[in-house]
Amino acid sequence: MTAPRNVPEKPALEGLEAKWDRVWEADGTYRFDRTATRDQVYSIDTPPPTVSGALHVGHIFSYTHTDTLARYHRMRGKQVYYPMGWDDNGLPTERRVQNFFGVRCDPSLPYDPDFAPPEAPGKDELPISRRNFVELCEQLTATDEQVFEQLWRRLGLSIDWRLTYATIDERSRRASQRAFLRNLARGEAYQQEAPSLWDVTFRTAVAQAELEDRERPGAYHRLAFKRSDGRDLLIDTTRPELLAACVAVVAHPDDSRYAPLFGQTITTPLFKAAVPMVAHTLADPDKGTGAAMICTFGDTTDVIWWRELDLPVRAIVDRGGRLVSDPPPGIDPGPYAEIAGRTVNGAQQRIVELLKESGELIGDPRPITHPVKFFEKGQRPLEIVTSRQWYIRNGGRDQKLRDALIGRGRELNWVPEHMRVRYENWVGGLNGDWLISRQRFFGVPFPIWYPLDADGRPDYRRPIAADEARLPVDPSSDAPPGYAEDRRDRPGGFTADPDVMDTWATSSLSPHIACYWEDDPDLFERTFPMDLRPQAHEIIRTWLFATVTRAHFEHGALPWSTAAISGWVLDPDRKKMSKSKGNAVTPMATLEAFGADALRYWAASGRPGTDTAFEEGQMKVGRRLAVKILNASRFVLGQEPAADSEAAETLDRALLAHLGDLVDDATAAFDRGDYARALESTETSFWSFTDDYLELVKNRAYGGRGGRAGASARHTLETALDVYLKLFAPFLPYVTEEVWSWWRQGSVHRSAWPEAGELRAEAGDVNPAAAAVAADALREIRRIKSDAKVRLGAAIATATVTDTAERLAVLAQVAEDVADAGRCRELLTAVGTELSVTAELEAETAA
């Protein structure tokens, strides 16, 4: 019986990607079936890549990991909900739109429905409304998304491409505003006038999660303050320019040098302000002279001192990083006129000169290097200014909430497990709530207005919330409920909240956006809480934590059950690959050079959470594996089909038993998120299948030992091929699909994951050692030929296998296969203590 099998004469990898991408798209292979119920669904909270950036191999790496899991669960019978998001919210996009079109966002302007951007960016940026700006953003990112999608498709991500979202699109804005309004209604969001970290370049407040310390040069300046008894009190400071903002002098309560001074009044140099001497445990006796000036505000410790010691405010730095023009009360305005309006650096220079002249600078400044807080995207040190900001509670000021959120972290299944610690350290170390307002113009605006009193002053205590049914709104162009647009910014009318939300305030809702929260309750119920959040480890403190917090408030639950944290891709120098370092590799070029399956093989061999070197050698190995699969499949499928036959021979049944174990191993590995282990097991097994089993049964498969033994071999070969194709399918989607199409209907990616039980049932009570005994004997025979420098096909007259009686008993069951594979006319055995083989080579007849 010869069934038509479409096995090519010279199978090749070239062209498979374009071919199968087309078929998968046409057949809807990866489409989500939304009639599936929640327990039949596996849903993935795909990280939305920043479209204004470029994809690099790091993306290839981690997105491949997720895709292998998606494909595995699909084959396990789940409906996989695997959408793709695009992150086009936030500063990178804002800057890109500005530069590309030569415009800037001005929310005070009305929307112009006929607006068209200038042909070429002009000299001056053209101010446009927020809505127009968002439209340009969507226009620009649409092309970026195309490029990204092409790459993802080439890589073979099994995304349902009907399911995409963008973080600035209407649905995302609606979800973001809705969640905020609900936080506000429940008291989880609040606004407060308070000192907060401020970036003077971007002129916006920034959150604790966006800070980073950078080592910067500075200098200790020793200043002479005056005690009430007229003696000097020396204080070291790195920020003498803040002297005018000094509100107190502090020392440690146990510091005997200063104990007598506590409660007394100290006079500051130059400005002659009278400030109290106070005690606080955060004052470090070993730093400088042990006494420090408290300024409003030089650093975060100043904020703590100011708050806990109930000190007044004497603010001198404005939001642009310059000193305010008018001196604060209580200081000598004379010297202040010298520094008013200067930048912080300029003020420092002048202050030092003034202190030198007055003799109040003791000695020369002593240069040091110290950590300074920066906005992670900023270039100038952060200042601390007092401003009105929106916050969402995150446990930073509430132990009970903090404990609850740490509890959520413990509920979550972390892959790898040790990443949980990063979450706990971060949440445990919070020192304030999450500041979500940004004084930017592009982004999701707060759906909030304020009533204006008769004098036109906003009443911040009575914010007017948007109607949920009308979201998303832009308060700068939409009027609040109960007001007409002509009451905007008029006494007795209303004014819009000018701020936008932090990008994390929107991306923390990615599960809600992806699952159509409130927009499609039926779909939401089938997909949320999600199963998997894949992401990078450096944004555990931001994206992961914020997402957990929002879901905790909104649903009292985790947003997903598992978080899979990926590692970095390192270059050969063990440094993280990134574009800025100039060592990043272009993904498309790599894809074209090695093929998607090869690149995926490299990516999938990086264990979960482990940093992995970018190594072309691994890609070559992946390519070789894919070619091997083609060739081995050609051999298996080139035989007569073995319909209705069964595994009768010992060697065949031993292979089936081994395959049962392999399936168990790979399945268990996938179930704990360890795709790399599943690949490694499968690959190791597959190579021994081709190297040993295939050679051992070749003669039988060709019919050398008659019908039943041959059918057994062919049947087992087919069964094994079926299993290997399925186990490799999550990693090598193209080559496995290609081979599948030679003899099977449908897609391997929609086929059922193999069942270990079925394989073992057919194997019966075979001794699984038979395969190893046969392979060992064959290896010894090969060695004899190799040592004799003859070809492997050379015939052996008589071979004698010496081994233990136990192993010889097993060998007896597979002896014919060994003799055939070794080309031995006669195979004898002798009992001994360990395996050895001797052989008499047959004389080669001259060809």
Residues that bind RNA (CB under 7 A): 208, 211-213, 371, 418, 421-422, 425-426, 429, 537-538, 541, 568, 570, 572, 574-576, 605, 607, 610-613, 615, 617-618, 620-621, 624, 627-628, 631-632, 634-635, 638, 677, 680, 684, 687, 690-691, 694-695, 698, 702, 779, 782-783, 785-787, 789-793, 834
Smallest distance from RNA to CB 403, Å:
18
Residue with Cβ nearer RNA (331 or 666): 666
Smallest distance from RNA to CB 413, Å:
16
Cα(697)–Cα(677) distance, integer angstroms:
28
Cβ count within 10 A of residue 793: 7
Smallest distance from RNA to CB 211, Å:
6
Smallest distance from RNA to CB 613, Å:
4
Cβ count within 10 A of residue 317: 24
Cβ count within 10 A of residue 324: 16
State residue 341 phi and psi, 5-degree precision.
80, -10
Smallest distance from RNA to CB 168, Å:
25
Residue with Cβ nearer RNA (86 or 689): 689
Which ranges in 672-706 belong to alpha helices (H)? 675-688, 694-701
Smallest distance from RNA to CB 8, Å:
10
Residue with Cβ nearer RNA (221 or 785): 785
Q: For residue 20, what are the contacts with CB-CB under 8 A and spacing of at least 6?
A: 156, 733, 734, 737, 738
Residue with Cβ nearer RNA (634 or 744): 634
Neighbour-count burial of 112, counting CB atoms closer than 10 A to its CB (0-12 exposed, 13-18 middle, 19+ buried): exposed
For residue 481, give Cα distances in angstroms to 1, 432, 447, 454, 484: 78, 33, 11, 19, 8
Q: Tokens 């007569």 identify what position?
A: 640
For residue 767, give Cα distances in angstroms to 654, 698, 719: 7, 21, 19
803 has which bridge partners? 831
State residue 164 phi and psi, 5-degree precision.
-125, 155
Cα(118)–Cα(505) distance, integer angstroms:
32
> Which tokens go with 721?
């091929």
Nearest to 634 by CA among 3, 1, 6: 6
Smallest distance from RNA to CB 793, Å:
3
Residue with Cβ nearer RNA (461 or 789): 789
If you write DSSP's letter for every residue of 151-176 in order, what string do you get? HHHHHT----TT-EEETTSHHHHHHH
For residue 651, give Cα distances in angstroms to 218, 647, 813, 822: 76, 9, 8, 15
**Cβ(239)–Cβ(302) below 8 Å:** no
Residue with Cβ nearer RNA (161 or 635): 635
State residue 13 phi and psi, 5-degree precision.
-85, -25
Q: State whether residue 494 is helix, strand or coil.
A: strand
Smallest distance from RNA to CB 581, Å:
10
Smallest distance from RNA to CB 615, Å:
5
Residue with Cβ nearer RNA (339 or 696): 696
If you write DSSP's letter for every residue of 446-493 in order, what string do you get? PSEEEEB-TTS-B-TTSPEEPPGGG-S--TTTSPPTT--GGGBTSTTS
Q: Tokens 């302000």 identify what position?
A: 273
Q: State whether residue 436 is helix, strand or coil.
A: coil
Residue with Cβ nearer RNA (439 or 690): 690
Residue with Cβ nearer RNA (9 or 229): 9
Residue with Cβ nearer RNA (765 or 787): 787
Number of helices and strands (H, E) in the chain? 25, 30
Residue with Cβ nearer RNA (96 or 422): 422
Cα(729)–Cα(72) distance, integer angstroms:
8
Residue with Cβ nearer RNA (74 or 785): 785
**Cβ(287)–Cβ(366) below 8 Å:** no
Smallest distance from RNA to CB 623, Å:
7
830: left (phi over 0), alpha (psi -120 to 50) or beta: beta
CA 298 to chain centre: 34
Smallest distance from RNA to CB 190, Å:
22
Neighbour-count burial of 763, counting CB atoms closer than 10 A to its CB (0-12 exposed, 13-18 middle, 19+ buried): buried
Residue with Cβ nearer RNA (243 or 629): 629
Residue with Cβ nearer RNA (519 or 664): 664
Smallest distance from RNA to CB 766, Å:
21
Smallest distance from RNA to CB 632, Å:
4
Residue with Cβ nearer RNA (193 or 376): 376
Residue with Cβ nearer RNA (304 or 362): 304
Smallest distance from RNA to CB 628, Å:
6
Q: Tokens 């060592």 identify what position?
A: 583
Smallest distance from RNA to CB 639, Å:
9
- State the first-to-last Cα distance of the chain, in angstroms, to the nearest integer: 37
Smallest distance from RNA to CB 405, Å:
17
